[in-house]
Structure 1
Amino acid sequence: MGRVRRVLTGPWVIAVLVVAVGGVGFGLYWFQPWKLWQDETVQEALPGVVNSSAPSVSATSDEPSRPPAPTPGPHMLASGELISHEHATSGTVQLVRLADGTHVVRLENLDTSNGPDLRVWLTDAPVKRGQAGWHVFDDGEYVSLGKLKGNKGSHNYTLPEGVDPSGYSSVSIWCDRFDVSFGAAELAPA
């Protein structure tokens, strides 16, 4: 009996405990399960929308005031509805050209699960329903527009300079840690 007790308290038990604690720590870091219960809501306005309620002012009091010349505002080029893949996902996606010629991808009324290392990708992949669509977005051309700002709300992602949006047909909420789409939208011309 004394021999069994000595084996259970020896260096093997300590090594197994160290490995187990290290494994649990790594698993918590890698999967970040607490994010499933944490929501982050971000509400951003579409950039470049000008408040048109400002009064017009004339240069001199003798001249009648003229309304200002209309400034070209944002122009929606394409849009689509998000469908669910790995996690329930809903909302709309818009590809918008701003007055200055830059482009943004706008997520409106996004509602998805939070997760580790979520990104917004502009891709050339077709959007497929169900599990068939979970892993297709990294097979072709894609541009990462950055980390997902929040798993709920409406937010904007600027396309990098030199990216021609006409070469892309879909947007994915991509989990870079596990190489899987949380949800995606096919972009149809507006």
Structure 2
Amino acid sequence: MWKRLATKPLTWVLAVALLGAVAFGGYWFQPWKLVTDEVVDEAVPVAQVPAPQTTEPDTDPADPASASPEPTSSAPASPSPAGNQLIAAGEFVTHEHETTGTAQLIRLADGGHQLVLRDFATSNGPDLRVWLSDQPVIDGRDGWFVFDDGRWAELDRLKGNRGNQVYDIPDDVDLDALTSVSIWCKRFSVSFGAADLSA
């Protein structure tokens, strides 16, 4: 009789512990996200590609014919065209999960900056963030864990694992130093995919 009574509380304790473990595992890993998509289709800014900088031709001081003509006016050079400017871009490479699309860094006409993800696709997952980083993008497993090793700036949670999306970049982010973008799983400290941002 005593044995039968003693096993009932133990069974309840085990059942509660098992349910707690299942609930925690579900929250932590969120396995349903591997089979669901969150699609985003934001309006992306139109941007011009800046014209390449021209350099003065070499001149030979001993050859008067090679000398540049004297300027006829002291007027300043014309300003760059008004509008948004594409200043850097790169294609995503796959890290822990297959990731495709293009990352674009755009300087807006008002002086602000945005990161645009075009035709973007990756796996859904828990706690995904959009990071700018100073780390190089490395193919394969060696590149999965590097983005929290150096400097980084978190722009926002990933809005969706598919589609066009836009992220505002705060004015205090050093865009000269942060030259890559990673879709970073903050919970497990791993990159789903990343892109170098090249001029």
Distance 2:92 2:4 in 1: 59
Matched, 1:164 2:174: yes
Deviations 1:121-159 (A, max 9, x none): 000001111111111000000000001111001111111
Q: What's the offset of the Cα at 1:169?
A: 1.1
Instruction: Say whether the 8 Å CA contact 1:48–1:99 is kept in structure 2.
Output: no
User: Counterpart of 2:117?
Assistant: 107
* 1:129-144 superposed matches below 5 A: 129-144=139-154
Aligned residue for 1:19, secondary structure, equals helix
Please tell me the residue identity of whatever aligns with 1:153.
G
Distance 1:33 1:171 in 2: 25
Deviations 1:150-174 (A, max 9, x none): 1001111111122121111100000
Distance 2:107 2:45 in 1: 10
Q: What's the offset of the Cα at 1:48?
A: 6.8
* 1:47-126 superposed matches below 5 A: 47=45, 72-126=82-136
Percent identity (aligned): 53
Matched, 1:127 2:137: yes
Question: Which structure has the bigger radius of gyration?
Answer: 2
User: Counterpart of 2:29?
Assistant: 31
User: Structure 1-normalised TM-score?
Assistant: 0.82
Q: Which runs of 4+ in 1 moved over 2 A?
A: 2-7, 46-49
Q: What's the offset of the Cα at 1:119?
A: 0.6
* 1:17-28 superposed matches below 5 A: 17-28=15-26
Please tell me the residue identity of whatever aligns with 1:177.
R
Number of equivalenced pairs: 167
Q: What's the offset of the Cα at 1:47?
A: 3.7
User: Counterpart of 2:54?
Assistant: none
Select 2:38's aligned residue among 37, 40, 47. Answer: 40
Distance 2:43 2:187 in 1: 29
Please tell me the residue identity of whatever aligns with 1:21.
L
Distance 1:48 1:110 in 2: 17
User: Structure 2-normalised TM-score?
Assistant: 0.79
Distance 1:159 1:151 in 2: 20
* 1:149-160 superposed matches below 5 A: 149-160=159-170
RMSD over aligned CA atoms reads 1.8
User: Counterpart of 2:13?
Assistant: 15
Unmatched 5+ residue regions in structure 2? Answer: 48-80
Q: What's the offset of the Cα at 1:6?
A: 4.7
Please tell me the residue identity of whatever aligns with 2:173.
V
Distance 1:185 1:17 in 2: 46
